[in-house]
Amino acid sequence: MSARKAYPFDDIEPKWQHYWLDKRLFRAADPGEEGSNKPKFYVLDMFPYPSGSGLHVGHLEGYTASDIIARYKRMKGFNVLHPMGWDAFGLPAEQHAILTGTHPAITTKQNIANFKRQIQSMGFSYDWSREIDTTDPAYYKWTQWIFLKLFEKGLAYVAEAPVWYCPMLKTVLANEEIIHTPEGPRSERGNHPVIRKLFRQWFLKITAYAEKLLEGLETVQWPESIKEMQRHWIGRSEGALIKFAVEGKELEIEIFTTRPDTLFGATFLVLAPEHPLVEAITAVEYRNEVENYRAAAFLKSDLERTELSKNKTGVWTGGYAIHPVTGDKLPIWISDYVLMTYGTGAIMAVPAHDYRDYEFAKTFGLPIKKVVVPEKQTEEIGSECFIGEGVAVHSGFISGLRTAEAKKKIIEWLEEKKRGKKDIQYKLRDWLFSRQRYWGEPFPIIWKEGKPLPVPEEDLPVLLPDLDDFTPTDEGIAPLSRKKDWVVLPDGGKREINTMPQWAGSCWYYLRYCDPSNEKLPFAAQKEKYWLSPHGVDLYIGGAEHAVLHLLYARFWHKVLYDIGLVSSPEPFYKLVNQGIILGEDNQKMAKSRGNVVNPDAIIQEFGADTLRLFEMFLGPLQQSKPWSSKGLEGPYRFLARVWRLFMDEDGEGLWVLKKDIVDEEPPLPIKKLLHQTVAEVTQDIENFQFHTAIAKLMTFVNELTKEKKRWKSVLEKLLLLLSPFAPHICEELWHNIGHKDSLAYEPWPEYDPKFLEEEWVEIIVQIDGKVRGRLRAKKDADKDELTTKATDIPAIAKWLENRVCSKIVYVPNRLINFVLE
C-alpha cells in the first residue's frame, strides 16, 4: 500500500467494480423472471451527450444521487431498474467532424467509451445489459417507427414557414433552441447570431396536445417551478374569437381576445406583418410602405417585437374593418408588436384597456374609448389606460355589467349572430422537427409527385449513409443531398434529405430501456406495463435546464403513444428531482472555455471514487447550486479512513488485517440507542433526498464508535449497510472481511425499533400562576417532589416564590409544573 493512502481504495474499488460487472449484479428482473415478484422501482438519469471533453464533476452529482436511491431501494426489497445509455446524435459530433475530417460515428464511439469508463469508475449500479445508443440503427429504427405513427395520425406535416436559421451552424433551430440577448437572438448551442428565413420544414403538431399537456402537470410530483415554466410555455388563454368583415371585400379577419367585454372600446385593428390577409387588404397607394415594413419586421425576434419599453411602430394598410356590433369603420394597421405565432395574428385594439394598444394609439393619434371602469367608480375616470376588471360602460347592451357577466353576455350575442364564439388559445407553437444536418436520424419518408409517403415498416431502419463532406450548403441545404445514389430511388422517388433533431432519440429512450434488445417492436407491452404502470418512471433525476425542451417533447410523444394504446401510463415521469448546478471554484458554471472544469479522473486517482461520491453529496442540499472546493475532499477521505480503521489494523509488514477486538456480543444500551437513532434518521434523510445530512449523521455515528474500546460486530454490520449506498466499494470490502461471502447490495436495509428513539430526558416548563417563568431538563417520568425541588432551585423561580405562599402545585407529567400562589 502506498504510504500516503489512508486506506487501500486503489485496490478495493477496481476489484468490486469488476465483481459487480462480472456477476451482472445490478441486472433488473423483467416480468416472469426470478425477482420480478418484488415491487418494482424505476430510477432514471437524464442520459448524457457523450462529448469529447468527457465528464466533469458537475455531471456526476445527479448520477450519484440516483445511484444512492437505486442501492437503497434494492435493500428495501424492490426490483430496481437503473439503466444508462447515450444521447449521441447532434451538432457537437458533427462540428468536430467538419473541423477534423473524422467521421462522427468514430468520434461518438470513442466518446461513449470514455464516458462509460468514467461512469464505471464511480461504481454506479447501472444495469449495463440495457445500455442504448441513439445512433445505433437497432435503436433509431424505432425512433423512425414512432415518427411514422405520428405521421399516420396527422401529427407530422410539412410547411413553408419563417424559421430561425443559424448561418454559423447552417441549420434551422426550434423556437426553444433560441436564446434572446440584448445583442439579439442567438443559438442556444454555440451562442451564434441567428436570422429569420423561409424554409420548407417538418413540424410536429404538439399544439394538438396543449390541453392534455397542461392537465397532466396536475398528476405528477415535479418541482412547482418546472410545472410553471411548462404552463407559461403552453400559455393557455380563455376568451372569444370575433369576426370583423373587411370593407369592400369578401374577407373576414378573425381576432382572439381574452377580454371580449371590451369589444365596444375597439377603435382600430392591428395585423401581424406576416398575416396572410395583409396583401389583399392593403390599398395600392400603401403597398410599398407596407412591404418595406414587413421585410424589416421579418428580421426581428419575437422578444424584440414585443418589448414593452420599445417605441411602437406600424403602418396603415389603407383598409377598414367593420365593427361586428356597432357597424363602425375601424382602420386596419400592421405592427410588429402583434405576432403571427400567438392567437390569430390579428388583434382588435382597445387602447383604453391595453398598454401596447394605448402606446400605439398615442403614437399615431388614434381614438381611445374607455369602456370599463373600476367597480367602485361607475362614473368616467381619467384618460389613463385601465387594464383591470370592473364594470362595462358605453357598451350598449352590456353596460352596467361586471366583467365576468359582460364577457358571458357578449359571447352569447356573438354566437347567436354568428359573428364569433367562445374559444381557448395557446402560446405553444408546433414543434419544428427537421434539421439541415448530417448526424441525425433520417426521416422514413419518400417524396413522390410532391407528396410525402411513409417508408414501409418492413424497410426500416432507413440507414444513415456514409459521407465524406458533412457541411450543409450556405443556402442551408442538408448534406445528405450530396448522396445522390441514396436520395434518388429506382422508381423515381426521392428520400427526405433533412434529419431529425437530437431531441427525437431522447423522446422515448426510457421506454426502450424496458426492452432494449427487442427486434420486432420498440418494446413489448408486458415489459412496458410492468416497468411503467401505473404512473411512468418512478424517479427521474436531471437538470432544470430541460424544462421546456426534452421534458415537454417527451411528454408529447408519450401522450401520443398512450392515445394509440402503446403505453400504459398517461405521463412518462412521475417524480422529478432537479439537482443543483455544481459551480467551479470561481463560483461560475463549469465550462471548458472558463478553464474551471474539474475532471473526476484525477480525484479518483488521488482520493478514490467513494470519497468523490460522498463529497458530491456532502456539498449541500441536492437541489441547490453550490461551488466546488477541492480542499473539502480531505474531510470525506478522512471519514472513510476512520470507517476502515474501525475494522482493520495494519500489521508489522504493512498489510491490513481484521481487528481482534471485534466481538459478537450484545452492544450496551447507549450504543443500541445511537444505532437505532442513526438508522431512523439516515432512512428518513434518504427518503427526503437530504443526502448531506444523512452523511453528517453517519459521521457522528462513526466518531462515537471510534471512542469505544470494543467493536460490536452487529453494530458494524449495520453501519456498513447504512453507508453502502453512499460509499459502496469500501463497504463491500469490509462486509467481505468480516466474514460474508455474498455482496451486501441485496442485504435488507436496517430497521429501527421506535422504543430506542424515545428520549430519556424531557424539557419541563415551569410556570407561576400559569405564566412561563423558566424551564428545566429532567429524566422522563420524574417524581413530582423531585421536580418541585429542582424547580425551586432555579434562581428566577426562587425570586418569584420569595415571601409568597404557594396554595397548589399542578404537575403535568413530562410537560409542566405550575406553582399557584395565594
Q: For residue range 255-282, what is the model confidence (pLDDT) as tens digits?
A: 999 999 999 999 999 999 999 999 999 9
pLDDT at 416: 97
| CB contact at 8 A, 206 and 174 | no
| CB contact at 8 A, 531 and 40 | yes
For residues 314-344, one letter each, b for 16 or more C-beta atoms within 10 angstroms of the residue's C-beta and e for the rest, the string is bbbbbbbbbbbbeeeebbbbbbbbbbbebbb
Q: Is 766 left (phi over 0), alpha (psi -120 to 50) or beta?
A: beta
- List, by residue range, all CATH 1.10.730.10 domains of the chain: 630-756
* Average pLDDT score over residue span 295-316: 78
- List, by residue range, all CATH 3.10.20.590 domains of the chain: 759-821
- List, by residue range, all CATH 3.40.50.620 domains of the chain: 40-135+504-617, 142-228+432-502
Angle, helices 634-647 vs 728-737, to 10°: value is 10
* CATH number belonging to the domain at 40-135+504-617, selected among 3.40.50.800, 3.40.50.970, 3.40.50.620, 3.10.20.30: 3.40.50.620
Q: Is the dihedral of CA 381, 383, 389, 391 positive or negative?
A: positive
* Average pLDDT score over residue span 290-318: 82
| CB contact at 8 A, 333 and 317 | yes
Q: In this predicted model, what pLDDT tens digit does every residue of 585-627 receive, in sequence order?
A: 888 887 766 778 888 999 999 999 999 999 999 999 999 989 8
pLDDT at 1: 35
Q: In this predicted model, what pLDDT tens digit does every residue of 17-40 receive, in sequence order?
A: 999 999 999 999 999 999 999 999
Asked if pLDDT for residue 777 goes beyond 90, the answer is no
Q: Which pLDDT band holds residue 119 (cuts at 50, 70, 90)? A: very high
Asked if pLDDT for residue 646 goes beyond 90, the answer is yes
Q: Residue 508 has what DSSP assignment?
A: S
pLDDT at 2: 39
Q: Which residue reads 445530512 in cell numbers?
A: 693
Contacts of 430 (CB under 8 A, 6+ apart): 203, 204, 205, 206, 207
Asked if pLDDT for residue 129 goes beyond 60, the answer is yes
* Average pLDDT score over residue span 410-417: 97
* CATH number belonging to the domain at 759-821, selected among 3.10.20.590, 3.40.50.10860, 3.40.630.10, 2.20.28.120: 3.10.20.590
What's the CATH fold of domain 630-756?
Answer: Isoleucyl-tRNA Synthetase; Domain 1 (1.10.730)
pLDDT at 308: 61
pLDDT higher at 89 or 189: 89
Coil, strand, or helix at residue 792?
helix
pLDDT higher at 752 or 468: 752
CA distance 65 to 57: 13
pLDDT at 377: 62
Share of the chain above pLDDT 70, in %: 97
CA distance 61 to 87: 18
Q: Which phi and psi angles does 44 have, rounded to 5°?
A: -130, 140
What's the CATH fold of domain 236-426?
Answer: Isoleucyl-tRNA Synthetase; domain 2 (3.90.740)
- List, by residue range, all CATH 3.90.740.10 domains of the chain: 236-426
Q: Which helix (H) or strand (E) holds 816?
A: strand 816-821
The rounded Cα 235 to chain-centroid distance in angstroms is: 18
CA distance 475 to 165: 10
Q: In this predicted model, what pLDDT tens digit does every residue of 324-363 receive, in sequence order?
A: 999 999 999 999 999 887 889 999 999 999 999 999 999 9
Q: Please name which of 389, 391, 367, 388 lies closest in space to residue 379, comparing C-alpha atoms.
A: 391
Give the lowest-confidence range in 148-157, 514-523, 538-547, 740-749. 538-547
CA distance 415 to 242: 9
pLDDT at 394: 96
Q: In this predicted model, what pLDDT tens digit does every residue of 224-255 receive, in sequence order?
A: 999 999 999 999 999 999 999 999 999 999 99
Q: Which pLDDT band holds residue 3 (cuts at 50, 70, 90)? A: very low
pLDDT at 285: 96
362 is annotated as contributing to ligand binding: no
Share of the chain above pLDDT 90, in %: 73
Average pLDDT, whole number, for the chain? Answer: 92
* Average pLDDT score over residue span 81-95: 91
Q: Please name which of 481, 485, 512, 484 lies closest in space to residue 499, comparing C-alpha atoms.
A: 481
Give the lowest-confidence range in 143-157, 272-286, 562-576, 769-783. 769-783
* Average pLDDT score over residue span 725-739: 97
Domain 142-228+432-502 sits in which CATH superfamily?
Answer: HUPs (3.40.50.620)
* Average pLDDT score over residue span 396-422: 97
pLDDT at 382: 52
Angle, helices 550-563 vs 224-234, to 10°: value is 70
Q: Please name which of 367, 368, 366, 315 lies closest in space to residue 337, comparing C-alpha atoms.
A: 315
Q: Which pLDDT band holds residue 5 (cuts at 50, 70, 90)? A: confident
**Residue 320: beta bridge partners?**
331
Q: What is the pTM of this model?
A: 0.86
